[in-house]
């Protein structure tokens, strides 16, 4: 069981005794909506429980209480878990006080507004306009980080690592890459690249840990990269180690490929 699953279980256990006026907020709401959070935000965290002002914030050793302003917050019943929880856009707004890294706020925003791209994808949880509306004229803690993050939110990012990689490239002075770009060669579909510079035929692919341990996935990856090479594309492969420990190295590798 990972940190997010453990957090959701703790929240659902509390929901059995939660008064009607209370709802889940902040990190707990994000976990219930399956939004991408850094491990540091979830590790050892207790459920975040809120009430709308002028109610009194919950006080208990088993929860972290919050009192929220009613005019800017929307509460709904979670479609899967059946508990009262902040809506996704309102949840994003509360995370400005919790996530210090702008890239994580962008990644959560990306996940909320993500449009269906692949078969079986669910509809977006909210729109960029919804995110804008919930922080407009707001003075909450973290509002400046939210205002910096919002213009960077995109609808076609499929994961937190993809968002981080895109922002690392932009921070390094490179143009913004296309996201989940369908590559077609000689009229045939070749691959959907995580990030791409179509004019230069450079693709950036994030390789999660399962790529190295799943033999079938590894075989598919080899075939995929051979097809891309045959179509004249250069593939830059990025791992978690690259992403979170050597961001500058990613920029150097992509810049070099673009120059070629």
| CATH number of the domain encompassing residue 185 | 3.40.960.10
**pLDDT for 216:** 81
Q: Which of 34, 33, 31 is nearest to 48 (CA)?
A: 31
Instruction: Identify the bridge partners of residue 106 per DSSP, sorted by sequence position.
Output: none
**pLDDT for 209:** 56
105 and 187: one domain? no
State yes or no: cis peptide before 82, omega within 30 of 0.
Answer: no
Question: What is the tally of structural domains in the chain?
Answer: 2
Of 155, 185, 200, at which residue does a domain stop? 155
183 and 253: one domain? yes
Determine how β-strand 234-238 pairs with β-strand 202-206. parallel
141 and 173: one domain? no
106 and 69: one domain? yes
137 and 170: one domain? no
**pLDDT for 88:** 98
**pLDDT for 141:** 85
208 and 104: one domain? no
**pLDDT for 212:** 53
Q: What is the pLDDT along the chain (260 residues), one digit of tens a residue?
A: 689 999 999 999 999 999 999 999 999 999 999 999 999 999 888 999 999 988 999 888 889 999 998 777 899 999 999 999 999 999 999 999 999 999 999 999 999 999 999 999 999 999 999 999 999 877 788 999 999 999 999 999 999 999 999 999 999 999 999 999 999 999 999 999 999 999 999 999 999 755 556 678 778 888 989 999 999 999 999 999 999 999 999 999 999 999 98
Mean confidence (pLDDT) of the chain = 93
The domain containing residue 145 runs over which residues?
3-155
**pLDDT for 199:** 97
pLDDT digits (tens, 9 = 90+) for 111-163: 999 999 999 999 999 999 999 999 987 778 899 999 999 999 999 999 999 99
Of 129, 155, 181, at which residue does a domain stop? 155
Q: Please give the model's pTM, rounded to 2 decimal places.
A: 0.94
The whole-angstrom separation of Cα 69 and Cα 49 is: 14
144 and 190: one domain? no
Of 136, 155, 174, at which residue does a domain stop? 155
37 and 93: one domain? yes
Q: Rounded to whole angstroms, what are the CA distances from 110 to 56, 198, 259?
A: 33, 22, 29
**pLDDT for 46:** 94
Which positions ≥6 away from 111 have C-beta within 8 Å? 35, 36, 125, 157, 160
Instruction: Identify the bridge partners of residue 178 per DSSP, sorted by sequence position.
Output: 196
The whole-angstrom separation of Cα 189 and Cα 109 is: 30
């Amino acid at each position: 069981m990972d940190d997010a699953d453990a957090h959701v279980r703790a929240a659902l256990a509390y929901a059995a005794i939660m008064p009607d006026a209370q709802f889940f907020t902040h990190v707990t709401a994000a976990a219930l909506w399956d939004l991408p959070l850094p491990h540091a935000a979830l590790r050892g965290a207790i459920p975040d429980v809120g009430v709308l002002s002028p109610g009194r914030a919950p006080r208990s050793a088993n929860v972290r209480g919050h009192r929220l302003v009613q005019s800017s917050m929307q509460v709904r019943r979670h479609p899967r878990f059946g508990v009262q929880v902040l809506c996704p856009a309102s949840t994003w707004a509360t995370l400005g006080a919790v996530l210090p890294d702008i890239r994580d706020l962008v990644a959560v925003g990306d996940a909320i507004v993500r449009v269906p791209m692949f078969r079986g994808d669910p509809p977006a949880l909210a729109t960029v306009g919804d995110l804008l509306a919930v922080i407009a004229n707001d003075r909450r803690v973290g509002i400046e980080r939210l205002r910096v993050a919002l213009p960077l939110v995109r609808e076609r990012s499929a994961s937190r690592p993809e968002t981080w990689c895109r922002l690392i490239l932009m921070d390094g002075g490179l143009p913004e890459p296309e996201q989940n770009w369908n590559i077609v060669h000689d009229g045939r579909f070749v691959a959907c690249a995580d990030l791409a510079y179509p004019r230069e035929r450079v693709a950036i692919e994030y390789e999660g840990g399962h790529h190295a341990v799943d033999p079938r996935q590894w075989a598919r990856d080899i075939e995929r990269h051979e097809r891309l090479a045959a179509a004249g594309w250069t593939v830059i492969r990025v791992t978690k180690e690259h992403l979170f420990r050597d961001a500058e190295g990613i920029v150097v590798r992509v810049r070099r490929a673009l120059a070629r």
